[in-house]
Amino acid sequence: MFGFKKRDAVAQEAAARQVTLGDGQTYTVVRQIDCLGDSCPRPQLMTKKTISQVAPGEIIEVMVDNPSSMEALPPMCDEIGATHLETLKAERCWQVYIRKD
């Protein structure tokens, strides 16, 4: 319905990749969630779902272009058993990095 299922499946199966954050450490991102064009609460719901599917210590990347969604993700991490590592501003979105506790 609404074409989201196909996009969600592709985003969830993205290959693991390395990213270096502001603390100088390199992390392996195991899942990427593409929430471009989505507004609240979809990015939060997709983040919560993905965190429940990964192992403790694994990193996910949430791509959002909605300012209120970007601001809502870091405070939500405590509720879902995760840690906000960093939010980076990219050319057309924010990349929010979250580690499952």
Question: pLDDT of 15-26, one tens digit each?
Answer: 789 999 999 999
Q: Does pLDDT of 9 surpass 90?
A: no
Q: Span 41-65, mean pLDDT?
A: 97
86: pLDDT strictly greater than 90: yes
Amino acid letter, 97:
Y
Query: Which candidate in 35, 40, 77, 93 is catalytic?
Result: 40
The structure's pTM equals 0.86
User: Per the structure block, which two tokens stand in for 97?
Assistant: 């990095």
* Structure confidence at residue 13 as a pLDDT band (50, 70, 90): low
- Return the number of other C-beta atoms located less than 10 Å from residue 36's C-beta: 14
Q: Is 40 a catalytic residue?
A: yes
Q: Tell me the pLDDT tens digit for each residue of 63-85.
A: 999 999 999 999 999 999 999 99
Given a cut of 50, whether residue 60 has pLDDT beyond it is: yes
* Average pLDDT score over the chain: 89
**pLDDT value, residue 76:** 97
CATH of 4-100, one of 3.30.70.1050, 1.10.599.10, 3.30.110.40, 3.30.450.90: 3.30.110.40
| Nearest residue to 70 (alpha-carbon basis) of 94, 91, 51, 47 | 94
